[in-house]
């Protein structure tokens, strides 16, 4: 068996070391043939996990909330994995990392699989590595996959679209509850959580969010706003029940075509980006065009059309 | 004259309304033919502006610094434009916006052109719209273009690579000066600024950064660390002089080929993403493949290879 086949076999057997190694392959070598072959190998065994996305601004207590929710989700032998996305900032604060580490220690004690993913400088690649990670965990038999992002940019929010239940966490006193809802979060949130319920302004924050929701056109799923206190446990059962209800709702209404469309888009985008990078590095026609534009012999738009021509031949060769 | 030709003519005449309208075309309809035709039309008149990138974590006083620097840069009839990139957060704080508004009011009073750009939900598109905006301002005769990002994600940092002089701003007491340098900022910074020089820890922060820089292999350009106080003006002349020196250094050492390569990459990426989006929306072969994958008749990897085949034909047709 090839190394890749061994890895695929290990994943399907639920072996955590294989799972970790496979995720590293995807993360480190995003557009490699090996990454795609692993995903292709496990694909028939995917499609069963419930993916819960949890996002919100820094400081609202997402890690604490996840730490408190996981024991409630991991009942009846349900296997749970947590994937923390670190698209955040090249300037990110140490405190975020600290919370993550505390969450990880607590989760690991409970036998929960926990993994951090970073973007490694490839903008746009984060959704693809998150998709790959979800598929690997799904194929390894995890029933619930929790995807956490710090909501610090569009790339973070794009990752949320991979989840079938999206929970947006806010907290009182941040002063941006309403801005958050206005900024396009409304369209993607299935559940709102106001954490730190014991703090001043919590009930006002809940009301503010409900008011905005009331004015928006909603579908059949009515987005609930749930007050919780992750630290003392208040409201966590309500949240768990809302997540369960949304999972049932999704199972009935799931738009398989739209998630397939997104998935195909990500795979094709990755393949093309790989082809483009390779072409710019090594294709002599393309490097010649770059030289011509650099010397002023061609304008960049003429040059880019010529590169597209060369690239289409390379892509066509991959059919 | 077509509407696009009128716009191009207006830009080349330095008409600010045409400049604003053209930037809106790029921003709102990133991958449109019209956006590309505008850029193509103005291209022969670009390549003269000095682009200064200013980045750093929220709260270090970037907007105040820019407000204070601009009158020093806009001497001898130099025309200055400021482009503030808002890739930041869907959850971004109102205070950032407030600082920007104050900066804008101050700049507008001094006749400086100021524009904010947001990512509008298209990850990866930000660099392209920033590139387009720089080209428009360059063609309109602006001598110096200041590009500000809040450094909240990889997309933000990618935009910085469009600048020929990159200034990274930090402040004491954020506790992440050194992390910032470690996180890959080192490679892109040409000048470090420690703002809020009057605060405790400012000189230690300068020393810490200098220590890290001393251990790194640097090229011919020695990265200076400059303490400033944007609010009372201390150090701003030093910063202005360092920016000037770097501009001269860049003029001598400019790697035209590498910036052309990045530019071609962005244009081709935009063109391909446009072709991919269109193909997924409207190409009956592609929508048929999506149907097959949705029904389970094909696996997504087989499906994506077929989409690549269809796409390569569409791209080839654009040659």
Measured CA to CA, the distance from residue B93 to residue B103 in angstroms comes to 16
- Nearest CA to A123 among A90, A165, A78, A95? A90
Please report residues of B whose CB lies closer than 8 A to that of A299: 40, 43-44
* CB-based contact B48:B143 (threshold 8 Å): yes
Contact residues, chain B, for A305 at CB < 8 Å: 271, 318-319
pLDDT above 60 (res B256): yes
Q: Among A123, A303, A316, whose Cβ lies nearest the Cβ of B264? A: A303
Closest by CA position to A57, among listed A192, A169, A161, A157: A169
Q: Residue A100: which pLDDT band, with cuts at 50, 70 and 90?
A: low
Chain A residue nearest residue B171, CA to CA = A91
- Per-residue pLDDT at A14: 95
Length of chain A: 319
Question: What value does the mean pLDDT take over residues A126-137?
Answer: 90
- Model confidence at A94, pLDDT cuts 50, 70, 90, reads very low
- What is the rounded average pLDDT of the residues A188-208? 91
Higher pLDDT pick, A75 / B10: B10
For residue B208, which of B176, B183, B166, B236 has the smallest C-alpha distance?
Answer: B176
Residue B252 pLDDT > 90: no
pLDDT: is B145 or A217 the higher one? B145
| pLDDT score recorded for residue B184 | 65
Question: Is A91 close to B151, i.e. CB distance below 8 A?
Answer: yes
pLDDT, mean of residues A84-93: 61
Tell me the average pLDDT across B24-36.
81
Q: Which residues of A touch B291 (CB under 8 A)?
A: 257
Summarize pLDDT for A141-165 with one digit per residue, the tens.
Answer: 999 999 998 766 667 777 888 999 9
Mean pLDDT (whole number) for B265-281: 81
Q: Looking at beta carbons, which residues of chain A come within 8 Å of B257?
A: 290-291, 294
Nearby residues of A31 by Cβ (< 8 Å), 6 or more positions away:
A125, A270, A271, A273, A274, A277
Q: What's the token pair of residue A39?
A: 């995903």
Mean pLDDT score, A98-105: 69
Q: Provide the mean pLDDT of chain A.
A: 84
Confidence of residue B138 (pLDDT cuts 50, 70, 90): very high
- B18–A contact, CB cutoff 8 A: no
Q: ipTM higher than 0.90? A: no
Average pLDDT over all residues of chain B: 84
Stretch B286-297: mean pLDDT: 89
Give residue B87's pLDDT: 52
Show residues of chain B in contact with A156, CB under 8 Å.
153
Which of A38, A87, A179, A264 should we substitute to test contact with B (largest number of B Cβ atoms within 10 Å)? A264
pLDDT in tens, B63-103: 889 999 998 999 888 999 999 887 555 555 444 556 667 77
Q: What is the pLDDT of residues A2-58, one digit of tens each?
A: 889 999 999 999 999 999 999 999 888 776 778 888 988 998 899 899 999 999 877
Q: Which has more pLDDT, B174 or B236?
A: B236
Residue B301 CA: distances (Å) to CA of A36, B96, B306: 8, 43, 9
Of the candidates A88, A260, A269, the beta carbon closest to that of B290 is on A260
CA distance B243 to chain A (A): 23
Token pair, residue A271, equals 């393949």
Q: Between chains, do B315 and A313 touch, taking CB under 8 Å as contact? A: no
Tell me, what's the pLDDT at B21?
95
Tokens 């670009």 belong to B46
Q: Which domains does chain A have, with CATH numbers?
A: 46-254 (3.40.50.300), 260-316 (no CATH)
Arithmetic mean of pLDDT, A174-186: 61
Kindly tell me the sign of the dihedral angle through the C-alpha atoms of B295, B298, B302, B303: negative
Distance CA B169, CA A31 (A): 34
Q: With bands split at pLDDT 50, 70 and 90, how would you rate the model's confidence at A317?
A: low
Q: In the block, which residue shows the tokens 């999972």? A: A247
Q: Give residues with Cβ within 8 angstroms of A179, minimum separation 6.
A: B91, B92, B94
β-pair partners for B148: B54, B84
User: What residues of chain A lie within 8 A of the CB of B36, using their CB?
Assistant: 301
B272 chain-A contacts, CB cut-off 8 A:
272, 276, 308, 311
Dump pLDDT digits (tens) for B179-232. Answer: 556 566 777 889 999 999 999 889 988 998 888 888 776 678 999 999 999 989
The B residues from 163 to 182 touching A (CB cutoff 8 Å) are: 174-176, 179-180
Q: Count CB-CB contacts under 10 A for residue B106.
A: 18
What is the structure's pLDDT at A124? 57
Of A43, A93, A119, the CB nearest to B176: A93
CA distance A23 to B306: 26
pLDDT at B243: 97
Q: Is B243 in contact with B191 (CB distance < 8 Å)?
A: yes
The model's confidence at residue A87, banded by pLDDT at 50, 70 and 90, is low
Q: Does A40 reach chain B within 8 Å, measured CB to CB?
A: yes
């Amino acid at each position: 068996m090839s190394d890749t086949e061994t890895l695929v076999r290990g994943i399907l057997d639920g072996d955590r070391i294989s799972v970790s190694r496979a995720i590293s392959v995807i993360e480190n070598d995003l557009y490699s043939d090996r990454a795609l072959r692993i995903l292709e190998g496990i694909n028939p065994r995917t499609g069963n996990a419930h993916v819960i996305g949890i996002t919100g601004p820094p400081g609202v207590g997402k890690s604490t909330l996840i730490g408190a929710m996981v024991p409630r989700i991991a009942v009846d032998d349900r296997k749970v994995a947590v994937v923390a996305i670190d698209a955040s900032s090249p300037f990110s604060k140490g405190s975020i990392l600290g919370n993550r580490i505390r969450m990880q220690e607590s989760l690991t004690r409970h036998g929960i699989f926990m993994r951090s993913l970073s973007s490694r400088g490839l903008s746009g690649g984060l959704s693809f590595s998150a998709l790959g990670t979800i598929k690997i965990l799904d194929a390894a038999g995890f029933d619930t996959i929790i995807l956490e992002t710090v909501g610090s940019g569009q790339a973070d929010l794009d990752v949320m679209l991979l989840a079938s239940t999206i929970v947006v966490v806010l907290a009182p006193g941040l002063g941006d509850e309403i801005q958050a809802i206005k900024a396009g979060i409304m369209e993607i949130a299935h559940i709102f959580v106001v954490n730190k319920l014991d703090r001043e302004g919590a009930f006002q924050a809940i009301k503010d969010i409900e008011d905005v929701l009331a004015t928006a056109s909603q579908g059949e799923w009515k987005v609930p706003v749930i007050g919780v206190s992750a630290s003392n446990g208040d409201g966590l059962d309500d949240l768990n029940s809302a997540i369960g209800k949304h999972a049932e709702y999704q199972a009935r209404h799931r738009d398989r075509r739209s998630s397939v469309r997104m998935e195909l888009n990500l795979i094709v985008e990755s393949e093309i980006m790989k082809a483009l990078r390779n072409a710019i590095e090594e294709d002599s026609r393309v490097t010649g065009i770059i030289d011509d534009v650099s010397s002023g012999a061609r304008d960049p738009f003429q040059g880019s059309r010529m590169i597209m021509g060369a690239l289409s031949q390379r892509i066509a060769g991959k059919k």
